[in-house]
Amino acid sequence: MKFSTVIVEDEVMSRDALSSIVQEIPWLKLVGEAGSVDRAIKMINENRPDVLFLDIKMPGGTGLDILDNTVSVPHIIFTTAYGEFAVEAFEQSAVDYLLKPYSQKRLFVALEKLRTRLFEKNEAQIFVKKGSQMLPLVLGQVDYFSSDKDYVIAHSREDERQLSTTLSALEEQLDPGQYIRIHRSFIVNVHMIQSMQRHGDRQFKIIMRNGSEILSSKAGTAKLKHFIR
């Protein structure tokens, strides 16, 4: 699943820098950019984005004026040089409020907050056995699944969980737009891919969010190419 995103920022350099980062986030899809209030209102009402990066002061009014004249956007990250609008921003259920000039590290903190909010709301969970307990496993927080004989191991940044199933049976239950079987022994959550690089002629080396490195098969490489723009 990709979440449609609009950037509203009147400073061209800031907008271009933010745009380049957003386009590298595998679970976001940039559908438009605007540098003025009128253009932003039109774009938001036409695209109805899931996520909005919103400047406060710009030609023709403020970001809050934009919100008063558009359809509701569920997830907003404010980007501004003016701290005095923070209270009003959080009244809009803002994900975060970035004060310019913000660092890339600070932006990534905001993106992690956004990711958590998006997937806590949108991801299903299953219960898996751990010792004598049945504990919830939020699928969206799993980096990848690997096969281990008659079991599947769910790997995340926090821990590993053993599932009493096979990789083929699990694959049938997962969203094929998010979970890709890149090898007979691995299914990866594309939202958790940190980077990919060529490995020979027919493989990718995939670096996951938790630091794991996985090599795709020839068939898996073909599937992953659909996510490259």
Tokens of 199: 């490995």
Over the chain, what is the mean pLDDT? Answer: 84
Q: Where in the chain is the domain with CATH 3.40.50.2300?
A: 3-121
Q: What is the pLDDT of residue 210?
A: 80
Q: What is the pLDDT of residue 42?
A: 93
Residue for token digits 């979440």? 3
pTM of the complete model beyond 0.95 = no
What CATH superfamily is the domain 133-227? LytTr DNA-binding domain (2.40.50.1020)
Q: What is the pLDDT of residue 185?
A: 93
Q: What is the pLDDT of residue 85?
A: 61
Q: What is the pLDDT of residue 117?
A: 80
CATH class of 3-121: alpha beta
Strands 144-148 and 151-155: antiparallel
Q: What is the pLDDT of residue 91?
A: 58
Q: Where in the chain is the domain with CATH 2.40.50.1020?
A: 133-227
In sequence order, the 6+-apart residues with CB closer than 8 A to the CB of 72 are none
Cα separation, 116 vs 212, whole angstroms: 20
The ranges of the chain with pLDDT < 50 are: none
Cα separation, 95 vs 42, whole angstroms: 23
Count helices and strands in the chain by DSSP H and E runs: 7, 17
Alpha helices (H) along 51-176: 63-68, 86-91, 104-122, 167-173
Percent of the chain with pLDDT over 70: 87
Cα separation, 24 vs 107, whole angstroms: 13
